[in-house]
Structures are given as C-alpha cells and as structure tokens.
Amino acid sequence: MFHSVIRRLLCSTGITLLMHSAAIGQTAPLVAADSSSRVLLKGSTGFARGFTIGAPAGLALPLILGAELQLAPHWTVYTDGFSGMLLKVNRQEEHDITKYINLYNVGADFGIRHYYNQSKRQRRGLATGAFVGNYLALQSTSSWWNPRNAGRHLRYDFTTVAVLWGLQRRFGNHGLVEAYAGLGLSNDIRARYTDTGYELQRRFATVKPEAGIKLGFVL
C-alpha cells in the first residue's frame, strides 16, 4: 500500500514538472548568441557601397569589414570600411586594368543605431540582444574612387549623411544578414559649362536614397 502511494505521487509530480518545462519552453525568448558581448566584429559583401556594374568600371563587388559597439541597452555605434574589388573590367577599359589595380573605390561608414521594439520581440519569442532586431540609424559615409587615367591615386568622391531604417539578424553561430533603406544628403560633384564652353566642376547638396543588403559572418 505504501509503495503504491509513493509510485502515484512520483508519477503525478513528473507529469507536473514536464508540463511546467513545456510551458517555459514555449514562452522563453530566443536570445542572440552575441548578447553577452559588447563588441561585434563582422565581414560581409552584397548590394551595398562598393558594388557597381556597367560603365566605366565593369563589375565590382564590395568587401566590407566592420565593428559595432554597444553603448547602452538598445544603442550602438558602428563603423564599416568597404572596398569595391573589380571582378570584370569593361572591354574598353582593359588597357587600363593595371591602373585600377583591381580596386575601384574605397570608403567608410560611421553611425549610431537604436534597436527598437526589443521588449515586443522578447514577448513574441524572437531573438533579442545588443545587435539583433530592427533599428533606426544616423550614418555618415565617405568614399574615394580610382578614376580612369588617374594612375594609382584615389580621388575623393563624396560624403553623405543619411537617416536609415534597417534590420540585422543572426543565423547559426556565425551567420549575419543585414538590410537597410533611407534618405541622405550628399555633396555630389557636377559639371557645369560657361558661355565659352569652359567646364567647371562644383559640388551641390543632393538628396539621395540609401539602400543595401549585406550577407556575411561574425568573428
């Protein structure tokens, strides 16, 4: 009789524990693997600054190396260095390939991000952390390029200040995907002509869209 009561008690307790564990598993949020670190080092490529196709360069694919530092909960600062590496040169530029030295342009981004709706993501069981989620950002980008007949010297191209909306997600232990879009103000250079036909080059403030998709890895 005594053994029968103990057996029933253990069985009912085990069922209760299993139900409790299942409930915890359903409501516990998925926490990003990098949530314990304040610095995220990453490398990526994709349709972003440094990517170009068509004249005059041909096809250039960006190589992007970056770092992101957590300042406070949901706030980070970041920098990315990018270079457009030539994979295919247009036929009319083949005689100048040594002048391009396989490098079309280089540049850097600096910015600050705010990852929002982290509590909402947590309640929905989605990944949260210092570097995961949707964000709003203020970003400055400067670029230099290697024009035709400029030898091995890079020439200043532009600087842009932009407001961006974006998202950053982790997959696996080291995978990373990022997409963003927004508007920026750029100091693009334009050609102008006088009455005598003499060409002048001046810079004007221009509103330009910003968009990109990056696929990469974290260190």
pLDDT in tens, 118-134: 888 888 888 877 899 99
C-alpha–C-alpha distance, residues 96 and 155, integer Å: 16
For residue 56, give the nearest of 26, 14, 96 by alpha carbon.
96
Instruction: Provide the whole-model pTM.
Output: 0.72
Average pLDDT over residues 39-59: 82
Task: Look at 37-46, 87-96, 136-145, 155-164 and tell me which has the smallest mean pLDDT.
Answer: 87-96
Query: Is 53 within 8 Å of 84 (Cβ atoms)?
Result: no
**Averaged pLDDT score across all residues of the chain:** 77
Query: Is 166 within 8 Å of 138 (Cβ atoms)?
Result: no
Query: Is 57 within 8 Å of 157 (Cβ atoms)?
Result: no
Dump pLDDT digits (tens) for 140-176. 999 998 765 455 678 899 999 999 999 999 988 899 9
| Max Cα distance, the chain (Å) | 114
Query: Is residue 43's pLDDT more than 70?
Result: yes
C-alpha–C-alpha distance, residues 198 and 5, integer Å: 103
Query: Is 68 within 8 Å of 78 (Cβ atoms)?
Result: yes
User: Read out DSSP for 72-99?
Assistant: ETTEEEEEEEEEEEEEEE-GGGGGGHHH
Give the H/E segment covering residue 26.
helix 2-27
155 token code pair? 């020439």
Half-sphere exposure (Cβ direction) of 33: Cα atoms closer than 13 Å = 12
C-alpha–C-alpha distance, residues 164 and 161, integer Å: 10
Say which residues have a Cβ less than 8 Å from residue 186's Cβ, sequence separation at least 6.
Answer: 158, 159, 160, 205, 206, 207, 208
DSSP SS3 for 16 = helix
C-alpha–C-alpha distance, residues 166 and 48, integer Å: 13
